[in-house]
A = this chain, B = another copy of it.
């Protein structure tokens, strides 16, 4: 059988592993595809850099020429970022190539343009590696659960922040200290903004929501809060609740009175407490895990390494075999469908639960005053705990589910009560009530 020819865009941590797997797994890949896979060229910015195991003769700086070369059948993009990745992928699809990308930022910002091109040019566009590394997650959502009705996706999709929060939980470290340790160990980058401010998780949430609900969702639609303001006190408060703080990406169908599709979807990223008995609570260090709740399948969880060269390359290989088989068969795989087109609801309309810790004046009537504020905002209290005396007096309140707007309005008015010295900690609570 005639070999299929692969162009690789980018040759960093992931690209090098792709080259290695193409070489080491060549016999296996050929057996599974039904034809050998051959590397046609690798586009890089600095061709003179030494890359172990990479044949320098394959390197080129002319990515535009590479993606449209007639002897290239499949293009793998691991450059990242919006441009030139988008233009290169579009050019490749336009000239009939199948494309595979790990580019979550591009998919979350402008997936619609890529999906439209895939449809227009009848080209394959696969991107398993863009979310949660090697964990097979998009394919199950796209294919296995396609005959089910997904209600909620709840996941830990950023390894850096999970590592930091896990250190804070295990060793009582503060955020800054835990971040520095993560940086020293290579879990966090020198500029950690994309991770700790939740941008990376928000991009993944957008991709997951789109797949789960067949609805267009971009990164800009995602309500995003990072972990920079999570304090040692927040983590200690969670411990007292037998809970743990995790940065969660949540994609939820918001029910409506009539119709099974719901009145919209909520897509959000924020640190929240989840009970230690929840399967996500035991996800340690830089691991990722995604919990999916579907009407018929019930609760599913997918767990594994969410990043790294080899795991990401493994996910790319799975996509590569699929698109290669599709090319031989002459039929592209399923294109993204957004037929449901549900609205993305604002955060204020989403119902959540709050954990609120208040430093209060140790005087009679404080609890009554506080409780009155909750009632005024129509927020129902699930549990209250009063602790300490004098200057140490504190009040911990956990609410039932209420619209986020009502909850944040309550917190704001509580902060202005004369008997409340300080709102010491506010954290959302997730995991079943």
Contacts and interface: CB of A to CB of B under 8 A. Distances in A.
A282 interface: yes
Nearest to A299: B304
Q: Which 6 A-B pairs have the closest CB atoms?
A: A147-B317, A136-B144, A134-B297, A136-B140, A296-B314, A329-B331
Interface string A21-61: 10011001101100000000000000000000000000000
A384 interface: no
27 contacts: A21-B148, A25-B148, A32-B147, A32-B334, A32-B337, A134-B298, A136-B143, A139-B143, A140-B140, A143-B318, A143-B321, A143-B322, A144-B318, A146-B318, A146-B321, A147-B318, A147-B320, A148-B314, A295-B314, A296-B313, A298-B310, A299-B305, A300-B303, A302-B303, A303-B303, A329-B331, A331-B331
Given A136-B144, A144-B315, A301-B301, 18 more contacts: A21-B147, A24-B260, A25-B149, A134-B297, A136-B136, A139-B144, A143-B322, A144-B318, A146-B321, A146-B322, A147-B318, A279-B282, A297-B314, A298-B304, A298-B310, A300-B303, A300-B304, A329-B329
Contacts of A145: 136, 314, 318
A28 B149 contact: yes
A147 B304 CA distance: 17
Contacts of A134: 148, 294, 296-298, 300
Nearest to A147: B317
Interface residues of A, number: 58
A331 B331 CA distance: 7
Given A282-B282, A302-B302, A147 B29 contact: yes
A27 B145 CA distance: 15
A230 B134 CA distance: 36
Contacts of A214: 31
Interface in A210-235: 214
A52 B433 CA distance: 33
Contacts of A24: 260
Interface in A136-186: 136, 139-140, 143-149
A128 B147 CA distance: 13
Given A297-B304, A303-B279, A331-B331, A128 B144 contact: yes
A330 B296 CA distance: 29
A17 interface: yes
Interface in A109-152: 128, 133-136, 139-140, 143-149
Given A31-B337, A32-B337, A337-B31, A147 B300 contact: no
Contacts of A299: 304-305
Contacts of A148: 21, 25, 134, 314, 317-318
A180 B271 CA distance: 43
A414 B148 CA distance: 55
A131 to B, nearest CB: 13
A325 interface: yes
A183 to B, nearest CB: 22
A160 B31 CA distance: 38
A321 B149 CA distance: 14
A320 B315 CA distance: 24
Contacts of A318: 143-148
Interface in A299-353: 299-305, 308, 310-311, 313-318, 320-322, 325, 329-331, 334, 337, 339
Which of A31, A297, A314 has most chain B Cβ within 10 Å? A297
Given A21-B147, A314-B294, A301 B300 contact: no
A325 B334 contact: yes
Interface centre among A17, A149, A296, A325 (most CB of B within 10 A): A296
A210 to B, nearest CB: 14
A129 to B, nearest CB: 10
